[in-house]
Structure 1
C-alpha cells in the first residue's frame, strides 16, 4: 500500500481551490489542545477558535460574556495543537466594534500572541468598516452573518434568519458588504438553505454553512455539539455523532465506586518500596505497625 502523501499547510489559496473544484471545506469550532491535535491530523481544513468554548470550558451562559483573555487562552492552545489547518479566531464581543483602531489592535494581538492566521467577525453591513480596517492592516477575515450571538436581542433570539424574502435580501446585503470589505470567506449561521446556496453561487469567495444547509462551499460545526457536551440545548442543525455524557457518567460512577471499595488504586497502579528499603525506612521512622507487618510477613514466608 502506498504511503499517504504528507499533508500540506492549508492556506486561503487552498480554500479557493477547493471552491473552484466543488470540493467541500471542513471547518470545526475548537478550543482545546487535544481537539486541535486530533482534528488537525485527520485533515480538518479550518480550526476556528470559537467563543462558544467559553460556554463549554468556563460555564458562560452566553458568548457575550466570554472575555478577550479567555479567547486568547483558547487560541494559544489551538496553536500548540495544530500544524496544518488554517488557524482562525472568532473575535469576541466588543473586541472590534468600537473603532477601526480597536479592531486592528485586537486582531493584531491574536496574530502576535496566539499565532492566529485569520479572524472571524460576526455582524452585518454596519460592522463592515471596522472589518475592512482589519483586512487592510493585513489580517484576513471570515465574515459571519445570520444568527450572530452578539446581536440576539436585535434578532429576537436564536431564530433562523432569511425565512422571508425581505429578510433574505437583508442578509444578502450584509454578505455583500462583508465581501466588499475584503473578507476572504463568509459564514452563514442558521440562515435558510436558500440564502447560503445563493451566496455560494454568486460570491467568488468560499461560503460556509453553520446550520444553513449543505449547498454552501463548506460546513462548520461546533466540536462540543458533535459529542453532546452542551446538555442545556441541542440546536436543530447539530448532529450528535457520539453522546459522551452517558460515557462520562459511567466512568465517573465506576471510579467513585472503586475508590469507596478501596479497589482503586490496585496492585497494577501502585508502587512499593523494595523490602529492605521499607524495613530501613520503618525503623528510622519508628513506624511500629509497619515493622510488625514486616515481621509477620517474614514469619509466614518462613
Structure 2
C-alpha cells in the first residue's frame, strides 16, 4: 500500500500508483483493468484484486468512497465537453473527487491542456468507436504496415502531448508488439492481443452480461442468464399478484391488521351518534 496525497490535497492510500505501473511494465508484470458503472461494481473489482477501474468521471466521488484504495481512471466522453477549458475543469473536478488519472479521447490540444496541469492523462489510439465511420465501420486497425505506421505516429504525438498511458483498441497484435518496443507509454489494451501492459475488459462482457459481445470479449460468468431468470420471476410474481387481487385472496387475514372487537363496537356506536354533514 502506497501513501499518497490526492490531487485535492487529501491523504490517501493506493494499491497501485502511476510509478508502480512503470515498474510493472519494466518487469513485464501484467495488470488488469475493468469498467465499473457504479460503486457496487468497483467494490467487487477491488475485492478481487483487480488493479484498476475505469469509470465515468461523473461517478468519481461515490466510487472512490466504495473502493478507497483502487486506482481509478475517470473517463471523459467524446461529446461531454466542448472547449479545452471545459475539459480541464471537468478533469480537475474528477481528480479532486478522488480520481488518479483522466482518460480523454479528445484531440491532442485538449489532452496537452490537461496534462500541463500535472494531471496523469490516458489517451487513445486504434479504433475509436465514436468515429467508426472514419474507419469504414467497427474493425481491427493496423493490419497493414501503413496503418501500423500511423499508429506509431499516434503514440509519438501522445507522448509529446504529455500522456503517461494510452488505450489501444482493436489493433492487430503484431503491430502493437513492434510499436511497444519503441514507446515508453503504458498500454491499456482491449481487442489488441496480449502484449499490453494493462488488459482492459468491460464488466458486462467478462461477467457474461452482454447479449452480443464483441469478438475480443470473453465471458467468465453468466450474469445474463441470471438476469433472465430474475425477469421471468418478476413477471410470474406480477401475474400472481394481479390474480390474487382480482379473486379477493389478497389482502388476506395474514396481511391485514384488525381492530379489537370492543374497539370496533365503540367505533360503530360513535359513528351512529355523529350528525350528518349534510341535512
TM value normalised by structure 1? 0.72
Distance 1:281 1:35, change over 3 A: farther
Contact 2:78 2:105 in 1 (8 A): no
User: 1:142 is matched with which residue: 114, 117, 122?
Assistant: 122
Indicate the residue corresponding to 1:108 in structure 2. 92
Tell me the SS of whatever aligns to 1:188: strand
Gaps of 5+ in 2: 1-12, 245-253, 269-279
Q: Deviations over 1:203-234 (max 9, x none)?
A: 22321211100012120011111123332x31
User: 2:51 is matched with which residue: 36, 39, 45?
Assistant: 45
Q: Pick the structure with more helix per residue.
A: 1
Tell me how far 1:101 sits from its aligned partner: 2.1
Contact 2:152 2:179 in 1 (8 A): yes
User: 2:16 is matched with which residue: 10, 14, 19?
Assistant: 10
Contact 2:201 2:217 in 1 (8 A): yes
Contact 1:172 1:195 in 2 (8 A): no
Tell me the SS of whatever aligns to 2:104: strand
The separation in 1 between residues aligned to 2:207 and 2:240, in whole angstroms, is 31
The answer to whether the aligner puts 1:118 opposite 2:124 as a matched pair is no
Mapping of 1:1-302 within 5 angstroms? 8-49=14-55, 72=58, 74-95=59-80, 98-112=82-96, 114-122=97-105, 127-231=107-211, 233-258=212-237, 260-261=239-240, 279-280=259-260, 283=263
Contact 2:143 2:175 in 1 (8 A): no
Tell me the SS of whatever aligns to 1:202: coil
Tell me the SS of whatever aligns to 1:47: strand
Query: Which shifted more, 218-227 or 8-17?
Result: 8-17
TM value normalised by structure 2? 0.78
Contact 1:209 1:218 in 2 (8 A): yes
Report how many residues are paired.
Answer: 248
Report runs of 4+ in structure 1 exceeding 6 Å deviation. 285-288
Higher CA-based Rg: 2
Tell me how far 1:258 sits from its aligned partner: 4.6
Q: Deviations over 1:148-197 (max 9, x none)?
A: 12222222221111111111111110111111211111111001102322
Gaps of 5+ in 1: 1-6, 51-70, 265-271, 289-302
Tell me how far 1:286 sits from its aligned partner: 8.6
Tell me the SS of whatever aligns to 2:229: helix
The separation in 2 between residues aligned to 1:285 and 1:100, in whole angstroms, is 76
